[in-house]
Amino acid sequence: MLKQYSFEKTAVQTFDDSVSLALKTDNLQVFYGANHAMHDANLEFPKNQITALIGASGSGKSTYLRSLNRMNDGIATVTGKIWYHGVDINEPDVNIYEIRRHIGMVFQRPNPFAKSIRENIVYALKANGIKGKDELASRVEKSLKGAALWDEVKDNLEKSALSLSGGQQQRLCIARSIAMEPDVLLLDEPCSALDSISTVKVEETLLELQKKYSIIIVTHNMQQASRVSSQCAFFHLGHVMEYTPTATMFSNPQIPVTQDYIAGSFG
């Protein structure tokens, strides 16, 4: 029988004014029709750090993540506020394409275009009016270096992206995202389709990227959360139950539901 936990007693950290925030949500709620999938999520994400969202399947992690750059528009009703540089980007008149240039996303399965490695990167740049040959070449090199893929592909940028390994494809997708020079990178279980060696590569890449970007990652893998993140939010049945420094989450979880999850008693 499923154990019942109280949604009243949560442990949610807030940061003091000295911490610069990349994003913050106030009372974020998500409804898929009658399904109230996310309840009152109040979270703050510090700049240039990695924050992990963890929890059992169906707990609302992806729903929450996708709301942050308005990927749920047309799919779900999202209420509450999403603060980005002092602007509530959940307002209807916000330009969502502009938002997605600043808040990029990498999905669970690597999804490069069936084009060359170079074209994968320059496609969105050209669509956004960046046309100079030198500028494009420099952005290709910079983003592939940022995603730790440059050395593996620099001699054959015209090769099809689909001929790369899964791990290389995922790093190409990260490169494609950072080519637009976003501030925030959202990653939805980016390693779930990868083997352990590719996973290590992607994790090393993220640890390097946090110097420049603020990163929010959904992961099922608790070891991954503990390896890469500075703070960790635990989701349960559409509620944020606990949000603490990652070391605290794994060594001294504050409330019973998190203690049971970390101990592997459910999920």
Give the interface with ligand ATP as residue ranges (CB under 6 A): 32, 35, 37, 55, 57-63, 75, 220
Among residues 41 and 122, whose Cβ is nearest to ligand ATP? Answer: 41
Q: How far is the CB of 58 from ligand ATP (least distance, A)?
A: 4
Q: How far is the CB of 192 from ligand ATP (least distance, A)?
A: 9
Among residues 74 and 129, whose Cβ is nearest to ligand ATP? Answer: 74
Among residues 31 and 113, whose Cβ is nearest to ligand ATP? Answer: 31
Q: How far is the CB of 52 from ligand ATP (least distance, A)?
A: 13
Q: How far is the CB of 66 from ligand ATP (least distance, A)?
A: 8
For residue 120, give every residue at least 6 positions away whose Cβ sits within 8 Å of its Cβ, in sequence order, or none: 112, 113, 161, 172, 175, 176
DSSP states of 44-75: EEETTSEEEEEESTTSSHHHHHHHHTTTTTTT
Q: How far is the CB of 76 from ligand ATP (least distance, A)?
A: 7
Exposed / middle / buried, residue 35 (Cβ in 10 Å: 0-12, 13-18, 19+): exposed
> Nearest 5°: phi and psi at 150?
-55, -50
Answer whether 233's CB lies under 8 Å from 242's CB: yes
Among residues 120 and 199, whose Cβ is nearest to ligand ATP? Answer: 199
Give me 98's structure tokens. Answer: 């502009």
Rounded-to-integer distance, Cα 240 and Cα 223, Å: 20
Among residues 116 and 170, whose Cβ is nearest to ligand ATP? Answer: 170
